[in-house]
Structure 1
Amino acid sequence: MTQIRPSIAVLGGTGHEGAGLAARWARAGYKVAIGSRDVARAVDAANELSRAAGGEVVGAGNVEAAAMGEIVVLAVPYAAQRTLAREVRAELEGKILIDVTVPLIPPKVARVQLPGGGSAVEALQQELGEGVRVVSAFQNVAAHQLSALDSPVNCDVLVTGDDIEARETVCQLAKAIGITAWHAGPLANSAAAEALTSVLIAINKRYKVAEGAGIRITGIPEQP
């Protein structure tokens, strides 16, 4: 029996993180749309990703791309997170929004700087309301690992969200592209994953980690 895969829209799909995720999902057989403020740039990037992944990727403006996706991924810098989410709010209603946001504030990106001491993703959920099921994931995966399509991603991801079913959907999306993902509790716990990114940047700098440091969860029996 053929499994029906949801369509995925990656807003920020012309950036390194978003492009890597989009390409891996396209290679796994998902229909993917990438969004950008610059439609021509999105179309060009989508064509490149389609060739690299051997799958279906289309480019569009952010609003149009969000409308195409049954699941929407927000993969933009922290400074653009809320502005873009507000722009596409109507297209997010009733959907899962996977937020990859990390509150990095240049130039001190190796220092944890959570907004108000809490999670940037949880704050977005509160703003968007219950009609959008926000899930936090993929903050701790190096973008160039995602872009290396012929190599496995050498780390785990933490998935947090207040809706358990939505969390499980995201865990399965990670599994589909070869990444082990773990339920890590409610969305408030996203603060830990967001903060870990700055910790990993500091580790990369100190130990000159070429491929990007990551995390592994140990002690859990193998999952089916």
Structure 2
Amino acid sequence: MGFDSSTLPDVSGLVVGILGGTGDQGRGLAIRLAQAGQRILIGSRVAERAAAAAAEIAELAGGSVEGGSNADVSARSDLVIIAVPFAGHADTLRELVEPLRGKIVIDCVNPLGFGKQGPYPLEVEEGSAAEQAAAILPESRVTAAFHHVSAELLANLEVAEMDLDVLVLGEDREAVAQVQALAGRIKGIRGVHAGRLRNAGQVEALTANLIVINKRYGVHAGIRITDL
């Protein structure tokens, strides 16, 4: 059985919140999803920053983009993308246990360190950022996705479409399917089911290798799954 996007649910009417939407990765995802017609809410610890970022994204990509506090955005969204720096990952989520209850949470955080020999994956007690999210948010439907998508390419609308697959992991197959479908809303991207959250650590860590490839070859490398 090969990949068949027609089997995935229609998520076009769902509201997508992006916590960390004022940062590069969150902003890039917001631009592309807004361009695709998704309703986007940008979250930040400072609501005014989120509102300013939302106005900028709406002007660039069109569509419906609003800003608000992290708690407000979490409560108003159907799916919530976590795109905050790993240093603030746990603290951010601990403040949002209640508004994220029952929500599909998409963790795209890569726990990385940087030294003289280049980037390297950080050890996470729970095994990965996504598993840390699942531990903090036991009543949310936590998934992992969007780890290997270039923020620079996402934000550059002169790039007509992306050329990569997004690996989606999670315990809840229905939630995973919705995230796969959301990834597919961005031109050129397929959302590929890649296993359970226990495998998220290796997916997050692979980002370190892609950063090295980017630097060595002057590109914005992504991942494609062959024979699918």
Instruction: Give TM-score, length-normalised by structure 1.
Output: 0.91
Aligned residue number for residue 25 of structure 2: 17
Q: Are 1:180 and 2:190 an aligned pair? A: yes
Structure 2 unmatched ranges of 5 or more? 1-9
Task: Give the partner amino acid of 1:118.
Answer: G
Q: Are 1:138 and 2:146 an aligned pair? A: yes
Give the Å deviation of 1:105: 2.2
Of Structure 1 and Structure 2, which has the larger fraction of its residues in helix?
Answer: 1
Q: Are 1:195 and 2:205 an aligned pair? A: yes
- The runs of 4+ residues in structure 1 deviating greater than 6 Å are none
Secondary structure of the equivalent of 1:158? Answer: strand
CA contact (8 A) 2:12 2:37 kept: no
User: Alignment partner for residue 114 of structure 1, among 119, 123, 127?
Assistant: 123
Aligned residue number for residue 165 of structure 2: 156
CA contact (8 A) 2:50 2:67 kept: yes
**Aligned counterparts, 1:43-82, within 5 A:** 43-82=51-90
Give the Å deviation of 1:150: 4.1
Residues 2-34 of structure 1, C-alpha deviations (whole Å, 9 max, x = no match) = 976111110000111101111211121221110
Residues 118-156 of structure 1, C-alpha deviations (whole Å, 9 max, x = no match) = 222112202211x10101000011101111234211221
The count of aligned residue pairs is 216
CA contact (8 A) 1:114 1:191 kept: no
Give the whole-Å Cα distance in 2 for the aligned partners of 1:172 and 1:197: 22
TM-aligned CA distance change 1:163 to 1:142, over 3 Å? same
Aligned residue number for residue 49 of structure 2: 41
What is the aligned-residue RMSD (CA, Å)? Answer: 1.7
Structure 1 unmatched ranges of 5 or more? none
- Percent identity over the alignment? 44
Give the whole-Å Cα distance in 2 for the aligned partners of 1:187 and 1:17: 21
CA contact (8 A) 1:114 1:120 kept: no
Task: Give the partner amino acid of 1:8.
Answer: V
Of Structure 1 and Structure 2, which has the larger fraction of its residues in strand?
Answer: 2
Give the whole-Å Cα distance in 1 for the aligned partners of 2:133 and 2:96: 13
Task: Give the partner amino acid of 1:75.
Answer: A
Instruction: Give TM-score, length-normalised by structure 2.
Output: 0.89
Q: Which moved more, 1:200-209 or 1:13-22?
A: 200-209
CA contact (8 A) 2:12 2:38 kept: no
Residues 25-69 of structure 1, C-alpha deviations (whole Å, 9 max, x = no match) = 112122111011122211111001011111110011111111111
